[in-house]
Structure 1
């Protein structure tokens, strides 16, 4: 709960009132945290159980289910199969390209793999620096990297606990006398939310480098909330070496006139590019721009693409919706292309809009989270697992809303709905493919828009109305 200037004056004028309010708010906050510890896993279990029961009923009644793995997947099932450690969504293409470049110095990996063979290697070559020195290949390398995905997921949980402790200091009234108990429940709710959050589960399940980017982003938020702009910029720079749209944070930092952030990020990008250029040639970014242009014109039609491009492709039936085509993108469609470009511009502008006015530490970290979400959603291809960056924003919104839900019932309801939509896979909506209701397949994208709307509603609580 944020503190207005009037409440601060009242607290100073009447210490007894301040003490009473602190106890009241601390008690309500702890109660909310306890409820979250129960509600988050319970909701996940109920949704998953309902999906499994419906699937079992349809199987017993003999109903044909050609896409049962797509229409009846659930969080519990994904968690159950994490131990297999044979997923290679990111690692497979990255290792193949790494080994090919080692055998063909100076070769054009994008021309060979992306355009000639149709392999969807969509990362900048600077991303290969992360696995360049891995002394393994084949299945052994994939197993090692999948194990590191688990470690990165645990790191996300640790980072979220640290981040939320700092955020709580910024947005709460003075803690209740039993602050140790409140800190415990805050940590417990944070860990539970992290391990029940579908985009993170999905990233680990697929064998994705995205879980490392999520960990990097959490610690970038933590650095910024501690007032350390340079480490935050360095971490965002590392992320941009893998995910090029994160380079937009250079503009974000420049708008805020945050020289340490921009300097550290620019230095990281320069060193990363120089190192990758020395290994793979100085011209690889030009070849990579061809790949980005190709993807921008087409996008992906699979249900898991949670972007404007995916939404339009779902609604128009432009390409396969339920079947992953590893060799092809969505067919080119001019209206989809131009509306995708328009949405990209709008979301990028939205992400940069509040940067200049984010003059408090709280609003700065809120702006960082909003920008990351907007830059992610603006991409023509924003997979479900890309929305792991939503978790820190949900934590900030949870902590910044008043501890008493009654005066802010609408905002609390929006927070609960958007979190539930993004934290759980609602796979049965995929039966709506090729129907007028196919737009419901983009529920994570709609949840992201809802989170942005909630930030706007809470902008005063997040410090955007303040000046320092």
Structure 2
């Protein structure tokens, strides 16, 4: 690996490279893609224009909020009945601990309309927070090498964040994942800063909304990051105790059954960027471009087994990989976080909002210092962060429709690239790629 130490005078060159890449990526995905489809008479492929407009005007749907709020209504009216049996427009799939902020707002007298406005504001701030956390992480990493953020760095991160499809889509839907993407970026910042206990608390909060993030706890135990692990466990005990006090043992224990059922059912809609979605779309099993709530893809045994197998290989590969000098690093925890999403049978597009913080860490810790342009990282970013709607034109073409899973494959590529960093760091001892130290000279 060839890495050169770059002084402050050359910082502008790398800042311009980042800004140019972000602008080109946005143009390719949102202008060139549209223009080619229209020129070839393939119709309008779709764009993120509407989602960006929703963000600018502080509008959003109620994808997560309505099931959560209706569940509280059901509990208030039927305190002795199981919450997860409530007849909702869509299924509540979160743990009851995730409902505690809404419970607190209601006890403060906040009505439903005001609560939805507050949630929209918090979601909006979460998108802004992803950019802020990424810039804070970038500033810390650059200063370790005697450099600092330039205005081009700041502009590039802001533009990339506003054009990041998983983030903006999650916001427009009104999905809790937007806040989780901010939490994940903040966790990476804390980990990069050496504040592992605080990062463990954030990881626990993530896991109580999306249970697949419990793999972060497994990772902490395997990596022997005891401070982070105990912080995760203590935070979990507190959250469970509060949830039991509000909802009772029986409702909280019912979540185990919900998780068991979710492991056997998912949807094959094109937005499901997972192995499960990919395989079912390949064999035309279930919906693809259409979406119907409550309607799950018919069970196919070999698809289920292949999904489980690939998930085990992905998660096991990250946990067992010999990270050596990068063992327990930001690259390591980022890889297990991304694997926890990609390994899920239902990984919606907005779930990949966590990749933004990962790419920010990569660029400021490593990418901007490398003499060679990191083309594979750029490809992974392009696949994970953009809405490549033209791939849906292949929905009816057997074999070719695998390209609809571009975001999933981009995430797999990113995991491989993170693992490759460890291998390359082992061969070059002059640089610690998490930015924690740099050899002199």
Q: What's the TM-score bracket when you normalise by the shorter of the two chains?
A: 0.7 to 0.9
- Work out the CA distance in 1 between the residues paired with 2:231 and 2:238: 11
Aligned match of 2:91: 120
Aligned match of 2:59: 85
Aligned match of 2:388: 426
- Work out the CA distance in 1 between the residues paired with 2:37 and 2:422: 43
- Work out the CA distance in 1 between the residues paired with 2:427 and 2:82: 47
- Work out the CA distance in 1 between the residues paired with 2:237 and 2:173: 30
Per mean C-alpha deviation after superposition, the further-off stretch among 90-99 and 161-170 is 161-170
TM-score of the pair, normalised by structure 1: 0.83
Q: Following superposition of structure 1 onto structure 2, how do residues 55-204 of structure 1 map, counting pairs within 5 Å?
A: 72-82=45-55, 83=57, 85-113=59-87, 119-135=90-106, 136-169=110-143, 174-175=145-146, 179-180=147-148, 182-204=149-171
- Work out the CA distance in 1 between the residues paired with 2:217 and 2:427: 21
- Work out the CA distance in 2 between the residues paired with 1:241 and 1:202: 22
1:382-437: CA deviations, max 9, x gaps?
A: 0000011111222233234465766x45xx12111111111210011112113121
SS at match of 1:107: coil
Per mean C-alpha deviation after superposition, the further-off stretch among 100-109 and 231-240 is 100-109
- In structure 2, the CA distance between the partners of 1:38 and 1:274, relative to structure 1 (3 Å rule), is same
Q: Are the counterparts in 2 of residues 210 and 385 from structure 1 also a CA contact under 8 Å?
A: yes
Alpha-carbon shift at residue 88 of structure 1 (Å): 0.8
The two structures, once aligned, show a CA RMSD in angstroms of 2.8
Aligned match of 1:39: 21
Aligned residue pair count: 426
Q: Are the counterparts in 2 of residues 110 and 121 from structure 1 also a CA contact under 8 Å?
A: yes
- In structure 2, the CA distance between the partners of 1:402 and 1:223, relative to structure 1 (3 Å rule), is closer
Q: Are the counterparts in 2 of residues 358 and 367 from structure 1 also a CA contact under 8 Å?
A: no
1:23-55: CA deviations, max 9, x gaps?
A: 3xx444431222322331343134322444467
Aligned match of 2:305: 338
Aligned match of 2:175: 208
Q: Are the counterparts in 2 of residues 350 and 371 from structure 1 also a CA contact under 8 Å?
A: no
Alpha-carbon shift at residue 285 of structure 1 (Å): 4.2
Alpha-carbon shift at residue 105 of structure 1 (Å): 1.5
2:365 is aligned with 1:391 = no
SS at match of 1:215: helix
Q: Are the counterparts in 2 of residues 2 and 400 from structure 1 also a CA contact under 8 Å?
A: no
Per mean C-alpha deviation after superposition, the further-off stretch among 432-441 and 341-350 is 341-350
Alpha-carbon shift at residue 358 of structure 1 (Å): 5.8
2:226 is aligned with 1:259 = yes
Per mean C-alpha deviation after superposition, the further-off stretch among 307-316 and 188-197 is 188-197
- In structure 2, the CA distance between the partners of 1:30 and 1:267, relative to structure 1 (3 Å rule), is same
Q: Are the counterparts in 1 of residues 311 and 343 from structure 2 also a CA contact under 8 Å?
A: yes
SS at match of 2:229: helix
- In structure 2, the CA distance between the partners of 1:86 and 1:191, relative to structure 1 (3 Å rule), is closer
Q: Are the counterparts in 2 of residues 150 and 204 from structure 1 also a CA contact under 8 Å?
A: yes
Alpha-carbon shift at residue 85 of structure 1 (Å): 1.3
1:144-180: CA deviations, max 9, x gaps?
A: 211221111111111111112223355xxx43xxx45
1:207-231: CA deviations, max 9, x gaps?
A: 1111111111111111111111110
2:180 is aligned with 1:217 = no
- In structure 2, the CA distance between the partners of 1:76 and 1:112, relative to structure 1 (3 Å rule), is closer
Larger radius of gyration: 1
- Work out the CA distance in 2 between the residues paired with 1:184 and 1:283: 54
1:246 pairs, out of 204, 210, 213, with 213
Aligned match of 1:17: none
SS at match of 2:46: coil
- In structure 2, the CA distance between the partners of 1:263 and 1:380, relative to structure 1 (3 Å rule), is same
2:344 is aligned with 1:379 = yes
Per mean C-alpha deviation after superposition, the further-off stretch among 83-92 and 222-231 is 83-92
SS at match of 1:49: helix
